[in-house]
């Protein structure tokens, strides 16, 4: 690296790759630094599970910015979807499953076993939610000035998800189905403003369908590969096995980074796809963040989620309902509120909310014939349990197995391999007020020239790459302004 770089991107996950690709397309000289030996971040197939490798991060895509897909021409680089619109299925122990797909009549039929009123109401609920969500895209999709807050946004921004669901549905089954999504970002469904999480999710679009949940063909690693190809095609220099030790500052502006090997890399701006806490607490010199920002960093997320991936000899019974589906297993919404408090106190909650997906049911190339994969997200869990994860993890596995066994009898005997990814520390806590803040407020940092392009820049932590796209635009404007 003889010539000075315009921009450095820290982290080779989808967010970092997107930001680097956009910067390179804007004509910058960009390098991307990835600590691991392989590109992809949490999407990389980094975990060994028998003969297979699986990613540690998200199991579905529901928020990927459609403009990133079209502008980076990801389809030309090989992005294909194995499933475009996973059906939302609520599994119950007290009755038949709820099939909440786009087919309103089938959904109403399955709900009517629990409540006639809810069956009739689901259509209205979805229509209102989707209309409200579309109206908020100016705020959630663009880097414009924050829209004047209409009454409804203000009202939902004060309402807890539990209160909203209580008002919308009378049956426990329907409320419980939505409880898993209400706990996104480690929030309690009773916390003020969590009603907006549904609207935010409903504002997203996958494959041209509002509120859809999709899975790329070849898994998340395929998405990372497409983004990597797009970034390299645009001229990004990708360096793997290059962990960043700290940021280099000249005055109060960033001037580059120092790698763990001691090598210094100079750049005019730096985009970090790590969390706000990792970036400002671990990489920036202490005190550089300023007092007010450092105070905001003192508390990390206390509640998170774990991921279980298992290989099976046969598909679990519930996958026969609909192969392309996300199965939500929650008994009662009320219990989730108590469970969240337990998790916050550092204990394993008595009640857990699960989202299970069987990716091999709709993407047979993922595993050799005769082997199936079951991927499960579990919420809410303590990030730092009182007894430590080494002791808690076996108990958690046992609890998750017991829940799964209830819905898929005989599952335990079919398991050939299992891997558990415990909640990641140093994550930023989700602040509901960020759902109404501007993009620039999240992306910019107190250090000039340093921008956050990862989940820290998103209103809600999710694999959307929107923050990366907007951060690249802000950073490019910054460089142009400096040149002038």
For the bound state, the minimum distance from the C-beta of residue 2 to another protein, rounded and expressed in Å, comes to 49
Per-residue binder mask for another protein (CB under 8 A), 383-402, x = binder = --------------------
3-state secondary structure of 372: strand
Angle CA(178)–CA(171)–CA(128) in degrees, nearest 5?
55
Among 338, 399, 418, 419, binds another protein (CB under 8 A): 338
Q: Is 423 helix (H, G, I), strand (E, B) or coil?
A: coil
CB closer to another protein out of 225 and 435: 435
Size of the site for another protein (CB under 8 A): 29
Candidates 453, 459, 460; CA nearest to 478 is 453
Of the pair 60, 335, the CB lying nearest another protein is at 335
Residues 426-465: x where in contact with another protein by CB under 8 A, - otherwise, as a string: -----xxx--------------------------------
> Shortest Cβ distance from residue 117 to another protein (Å)?
13
**Site map (CB under 8 A) of another protein, residues 305-334, x = contact:** -----------------------------x
Distance CA(238)–CA(301), nearest Å, equals: 31
| Minimum gap (Å) between residue 432 Cβ and another protein | 5
Q: Which is nearer to another protein, 189 or 423 (CB)?
A: 189
Give the nearer residue to another protein in terms of CB position, either 71 or 170. Answer: 170
**Residues 311, 52: contact at Cβ < 8 Å?**
yes
Binding mask 96-135 for another protein (x = CB under 8 A): ----------------------------------------
CB of 64 to another protein, least distance (A): 27
φ, ψ dihedrals at 212, nearest 5°: -85, 160
Q: Closest CB to another protein among 88 and 188?
A: 188
d(CA 468, CA 454): 6
Of 342-361, which residues contact another protein (CB under 8 A)?
344-345
Of 184, 168, 176, 167, the C-alpha closest to 92 is: 176
Closest listed residue to residue 155, CA positions, set 144, 165, 164: 164
Q: Write out the binding residues for another protein, residues 24-63 only, by CB under 8 A.
A: none
How far, CA to CA in Å, does 448 sit from each of 23, 144, 254, 451? Answer: 18, 21, 6, 8
Hunting for tokens 């190809």 — which residue is that?
A: 229
- In angstroms, the CA 19 to CA 443 distance is 12
From the CB of 11, what's the least distance to another protein, in Å?
Answer: 28
Binding another protein by CB under 8 A: which of 299, 313, 412, 480? 299
Which two three-digit tokens encode residue 119?
């069956």
Footprint of another protein on 129-188 (CB under 8 A): 148-149, 151, 154-155, 157-160, 163, 166-167, 187-188
Closer residue to another protein (CB): 187 or 280: 187
**Minimum CB distance to another protein smaller for 188 or for 272:** 188
* Shortest Cβ 212–another protein spacing (Å): 28
Minimum CB separation of residue 367 from another protein in Å reads 41
Helix (H) or strand (E) holding 306: strand 303-312
Looking up tokens 């122990």 gives: 93
Q: What whole-number distance in Å separates Cα of residue 65 and Cα of residue 463?
A: 9
Task: Report the residue number, 332 or 424, with the smaller CB distance to another protein.
Answer: 332
Q: Largest Cα–Cα distance in the chain? A: 70
**Range list of H helices, 72-194:** 104-111, 116-135, 137-141, 151-156, 161-168, 172-177, 179-182
CA 147 to chain centre: 25
Two tokens, residue 90? 């609520």
- Least gap, CB of 190 to another protein (angstroms): 6
Nearer to another protein, 159 or 397 (CB): 159
Q: Please report, as ranges, the residues that interact with another protein according to CB under 8 A.
A: 148-149, 151, 154-155, 157-160, 163, 166-167, 187-188, 190-194, 299, 334, 337-338, 341, 344-345, 431-433
């Amino acid at each position: 690296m003889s010539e000075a770089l315009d921009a450095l991107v820290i982290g080779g996950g989808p967010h970092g790759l997107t930001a680097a690709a956009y910067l390179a397309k804007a004509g910058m000289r960009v390098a991307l630094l990835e600590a691991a030996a392989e590109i992809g971040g949490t999407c990389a197939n980094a975990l060994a599970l028998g003969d297979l490798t699986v990613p540690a991060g998200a199991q579905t895509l529901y928020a990927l910015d459609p403009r990133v897909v079209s502008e980076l021409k990801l389809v030309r680089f090989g992005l294909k979807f194995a499933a475009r619109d996973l059906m939302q299925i609520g599994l119950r122990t007290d009755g038949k499953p709820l099939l909440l797909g786009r087919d309103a009549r089938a959904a109403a039929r399955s709900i009517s076993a629990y409540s006639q009123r809810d069956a009739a109401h689901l259509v209205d609920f979805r229509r209102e939610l989707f209309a409200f969500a579309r109206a908020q895209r100016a705020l959630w999709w663009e880097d414009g000035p924050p829209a004047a807050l209409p009454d409804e946004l203000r009202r939902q921004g004060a309402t807890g998800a539990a209160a909203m669901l209580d008002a919308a549905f009378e049956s426990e089954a329907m409320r419980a189905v939505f409880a898993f999504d209400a706990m996104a970002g480690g929030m309690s469904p009773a916390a003020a403003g969590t009603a907006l999480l549904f609207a935010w999710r409903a504002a997203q679009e996958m494959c041209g369908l509002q509120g859809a949940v999709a899975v790329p063909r070849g898994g998340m690693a395929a998405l990372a590969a497409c983004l990597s190809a797009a970034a390299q095609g645009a001229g990004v220099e990708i360096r793997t096995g290059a962990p960043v030790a700290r940021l280099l500052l000249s005055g109060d502006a960033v001037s580059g980074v120092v790698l763990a090997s001691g090598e210094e890399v100079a750049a005019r701006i730096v985009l970090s796809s790590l969390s706000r806490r990792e970036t400002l607490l671990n990489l920036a010199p202490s005190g550089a963040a300023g007092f007010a920002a450092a105070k905001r960093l003192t508390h990390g997320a206390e509640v998170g989620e774990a991921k279980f991936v298992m290989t099976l000899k046969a598909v679990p019974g519930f996958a026969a309902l609909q192969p392309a589906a996300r199965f939500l297993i929650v008994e009662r919404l009320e219990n989730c509120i108590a469970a969240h408090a337990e998790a916050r106190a550092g204990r394993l909650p008595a009640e857990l909310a699960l989202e299970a997906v069987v990716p091999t049911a709709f993407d047979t190339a993922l595993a050799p014939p005769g082997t199936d994969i079951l991927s499960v997200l579990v919420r809410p869990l303590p990030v730092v349990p009182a007894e430590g994860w080494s002791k808690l993890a076996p108990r958690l596995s046992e609890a998750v197995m017991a829940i799964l066994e209830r819905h898929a009898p005989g599952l335990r005997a079919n398991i050939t391999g299992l891997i558990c990814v415990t909640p990641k520390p140093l994550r930023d806590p989700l602040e509901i007020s960020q759902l109404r803040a501007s993009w620039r407020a999240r992306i910019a940092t107190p250090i000039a020239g340093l921008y956050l392009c990862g989940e820290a820049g998103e209103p809600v932590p999710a694999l959307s790459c929107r923050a990366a796209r907007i951060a690249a635009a802000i950073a490019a404007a910054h460089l142009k302004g400096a040149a002038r």
